[in-house]
């Protein structure tokens, strides 16, 4: 029997333990069970109602400047607890540099929106939109457009790669706008987001109902959305399309925003010859994007467009840099690339690589083998950085 503790949800102002055993979550480095996850027993309709009737009104009582001040105070409190988040982040396979990108970056978002709220928004609770509009002769009838907070809840569904930054970058603008949030993390790294939410709740800095947390599936949550609610999603394009077509979202015209997977590219100009500063910078950045967070950043460079005459030089230079990248346990200071978020994620990457290899060849790396430092490559979710050379007329790598 598992001894790992189940992750708690936080709904209607209370911590909630699941009513079943849940599914196991594993340390990306060691393979050990970290926690179990399930949302069984959560009252999803009740969570939305609590956000609308408790969290929203409490936030709307505050001005933009007051909400901005709370964001700043919360950011400062989280910054004091970064070491706790760093330690847990390591279990997701992240190096310290990776963790700083996620954790410090997310805290920085809170500071940024706090600053914007103070400098760019009015002191009250209403935002004027444009100037006065004369609607009658002689100026006796005027109109003024204003923006006020929605009376619903901001539901956020997050990806596994940024378990701290992802929730905070969605929470900050919603909070500043006076709208309560429900955070739903990706399962693989939910234990880190759970710690983040625990720190937020324990700070007692923000009004009750401002934030709720669902650990596990969303059940029938989407069935209870109204036109005053909104959904912000980060993840795959296929899941985004499915959510966007949800009957309730369509029927009630629920605001839906998706940040889906992308095929970002970098382009080397023909005048950036091998040996030039620009050439070296290009290769350095390509390798950095391949290895930071084990290549799992949504903004990572997926494709490198290179002039034919420079193709071999780029391949050789990138391979030389990649060969120096130490992969393994992030706790080891020599390690520069940790593990993927889970074994399941590694297998998904391998499946995708097999499809890509039908239209190209390996320049560097081996998807089935990797030498690691202070870790077991079979138990951890490790994979070599992989550089492929695509066939010139292949369409699949660009789809």
Q: 42-45: long-range contacts (C-beta < 8 A, 24 or more apart)?
A: 42/9, 42/11, 42/16, 42/18, 42/214, 42/216, 42/219, 43/11, 43/12, 44/214, 44/218, 44/219, 44/220, 44/221, 44/224, 45/220, 45/221, 45/224
Torsion sign across C-alpha atoms 197, 201, 202, 203: positive
Output the pLDDT for position 2.
Answer: 62
Contact present, 194 and 215 (Cβ < 8 Å): yes
Extents of the domains making up the chain: 9-123+149-260, 265-398
Per residue of the chain (399 residues), what is the pLDDT tens digit?
567 899 999 999 999 999 999 999 999 999 999 999 999 999 999 999 999 999 999 999 999 999 999 999 999 999 999 999 999 999 999 999 999 999 999 999 999 999 999 999 999 999 999 999 988 887 789 999 999 999 999 999 999 999 999 999 999 999 999 999 999 999 999 999 999 999 999 999 999 999 999 999 999 999 999 999 999 999 998 999 999 999 999 999 999 999 987 889 999 999 999 999 999 999 999 999 999 999 999 889 999 999 999 999 999 999 999 999 999 999 999 999 999 999 999 999 999 999 899 888 999 999 999 999 999 999 999 999 999 999 888 777 777
Q: Which fold has domain 9-123+149-260?
A: Aldehyde Dehydrogenase; Chain A, domain 1 (3.40.605)
Active site members: 259, 298
Backbone torsions φ then ψ of 80, nearest 5 degrees:
-70, -20
Q: Determine the CATH number of domain 265-398.
A: 3.40.309.10
Closest CA to 304 of 321, 282, 319: 282
Torsion sign across C-alpha atoms 228, 234, 237, 243: negative
Strand 230-235 and strand 255-260: the pairing is parallel
Torsion sign across C-alpha atoms 78, 81, 86, 87: negative
Output the pLDDT for position 331.
Answer: 96
């Amino acid at each position: 029997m598992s001894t790992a503790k189940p992750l708690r949800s936080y709904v209607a102002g209370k911590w909630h333990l699941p009513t079943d055993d849940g599914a196991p979550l594993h340390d990306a480095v060691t393979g050990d069970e970290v926690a179990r996850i399930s949302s069984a027993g959560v009252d999803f309709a009740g969570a939305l109602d609590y956000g609308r009737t408790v969290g929203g009104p409490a936030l709307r009582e505050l001005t933009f400047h007051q909400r901005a001040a709370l964001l700043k105070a919360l950011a400062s409190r989280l910054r004091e607890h970064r070491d706790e988040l760093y330690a847990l982040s390591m279990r997701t396979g992240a190096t310290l540099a990776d963790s700083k990108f996620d954790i410090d970056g997310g805290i920085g978002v809170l500071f940024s929106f706090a600053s914007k709220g103070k400098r760019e928004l009015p002191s009250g609770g209403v935002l004027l939109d444009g100037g006065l509009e004369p609607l009658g002769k002689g100026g006796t009838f005027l109109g003024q457009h204003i923006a006020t907070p929605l009376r619903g809840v901001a539901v956020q569904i997050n990806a596994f790669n940024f378990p701290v930054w992802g929730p905070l970058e969605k929470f900050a603008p919603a909070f500043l706008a006076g709208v309560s949030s429900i955070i739903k993390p990706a399962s693989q790294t939910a234990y880190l987001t759970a710690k983040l939410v625990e720190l937020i709740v324990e700070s007692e800095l923000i009004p009750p109902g401002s934030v709720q947390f669902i650990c596990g599936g969303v059940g029938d949550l989407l069935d209870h959305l109204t036109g005053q609610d909104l959904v912000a999603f980060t993840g795959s394009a296929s899941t985004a399309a499915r959510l966007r077509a949800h009957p309730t979202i369509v029927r009630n015209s629920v605001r839906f925003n998706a940040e889906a997977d992308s095929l970002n590219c970098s382009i080397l100009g023909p005048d950036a010859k091998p040996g030039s500063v620009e050439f070296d910078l290009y290769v350095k950045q390509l390798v950095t994007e391949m290895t930071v967070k084990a290549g799992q950043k949504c903004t990572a460079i997926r494709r490198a467009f290179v002039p034919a005459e420079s193709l071999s030089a780029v391949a050789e230079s990138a391979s030389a840099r990649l060969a120096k990248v130490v992969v393994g346990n992030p706790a080891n200071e020599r390690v520069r690339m940790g593990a993927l978020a889970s074994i399941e994620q590694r297998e998904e990457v391998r499946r995708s690589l097999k499809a890509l290899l039908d239209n190209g060849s390996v320049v560097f790396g081996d998807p089935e083998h990797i030498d690691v430092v202070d870790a077991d490559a079979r138990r951890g979710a490790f994979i070599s950085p992989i550089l492929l050379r695509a066939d010139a007329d292949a369409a699949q790598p660009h789809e």
